Structure 1
């Protein structure tokens, strides 16, 4: 039976973002004494599109990120930065990793990657020029090693995810 795990952005970050948008809109409105027309033009032309873009990057994109653990393997979906199908037969090793303290897993080079306020998603190069796909909203992740790359996965429900991965690995043994 398949079980999905979400990897959303921290709600504090989203709340702070909305407060910043409100502050920018209030500042623009207050700073223009030349009339409501120029204020509206600036809000519509600048603040509106930028707010929509950042809202998409901070809310919509992380909200769509899911890690599904099934009998066949792991399905990783974190568009537009990372997606993969990891069959259990290709997994050589799993281990817990801390992205802050484990220097072997620090990003040396990034390819398609987003990192903002603890949320990480994309493809990176780690030490020894090895490729890693990362989707996490936390520093402690499960590293799933295959022949071709590492997968560093850290959903919100880490305990449940860890149990599901261990159950999937025990099926293959």
Structure 2
């Protein structure tokens, strides 16, 4: 049976975004009521499409992000940036670490990703110029090394993921 680990963004990000939208709505209503009709129209014309795009980016895509352990395979599904499949037998080592404490992961270069407020989702380059697939809610992650790339995984239930991976390969805890 497959073990599924969702990786939603922390609640404070969409809530902060909704607060911002409420502020813009208040400014729009004030503009229209105060006689600044065109200011209100411009606020709506600019803010509505951007708000829809950012809502999709900050809430919808992260809510679909998940890590799946199934039949000895690791599947990382993180729309829109990546979908990766890796046999667990090709993982050479697994350990738990804080990305800020590891020289290899501290200053990763962004390739195809989004990263803010501790949430990271996408492909990065490590210090040794190796690809790293990062899907994490915080800096504490399960690090899985393969010959081709790293997987840095930090779902909401990190302990559950460590236990699921530990049933297939040994995991060194920090």
TM-score, normalization: structure 2? 0.90
User: Which residue matches 1:83?
Assistant: 83
- 2: CA distance, partners of 1:108 / 1:30: 44
Instruction: Say whether the 8 Å CA contact 2:28–2:44 is kept in structure 1.
Output: no
- Once the 2 structures are TM-superposed, how far is the Cα of residue 92 of structure 1 from its aligned partner? 0.7
User: Which residue matches 2:16?
Assistant: 16
- 2: CA distance, partners of 1:26 / 1:56: 22
1:164 paired with 2:142, answer: no
1:112 paired with 2:112, answer: yes
Instruction: Say whether the 8 Å CA contact 2:28–2:40 is kept in structure 1.
Output: no
Q: Which runs of 5+ in 2 are unaligned?
A: none
1:34 paired with 2:31, answer: no
Q: Secondary structure at the match of 1:135?
A: strand
Instruction: Say whether the 8 Å CA contact 1:71–1:168 is kept in structure 2.
Output: no
User: Which residue matches 2:123?
Assistant: 123
User: Which residue matches 2:56?
Assistant: 56
Q: Secondary structure at the match of 1:95?
A: strand
Instruction: Say whether the 8 Å CA contact 1:73–1:168 is kept in structure 2.
Output: no
- 2: CA distance, partners of 1:108 / 1:99: 10
Instruction: Say whether the 8 Å CA contact 2:135–2:152 is kept in structure 1.
Output: yes
- 2: CA distance, partners of 1:130 / 1:107: 13
Q: Deviations over 1:78-130 (max 9, x none)?
A: 01112210101211110112112222212432210100111101111111111
Instruction: Say whether the 8 Å CA contact 1:69–1:164 is kept in structure 2.
Output: yes
Count, aligned residues: 169
- 2: CA distance, partners of 1:130 / 1:14: 32
- Once the 2 structures are TM-superposed, how far is the Cα of residue 39 of structure 1 from its aligned partner? 5.4
- Once the 2 structures are TM-superposed, how far is the Cα of residue 40 of structure 1 from its aligned partner? 5.2
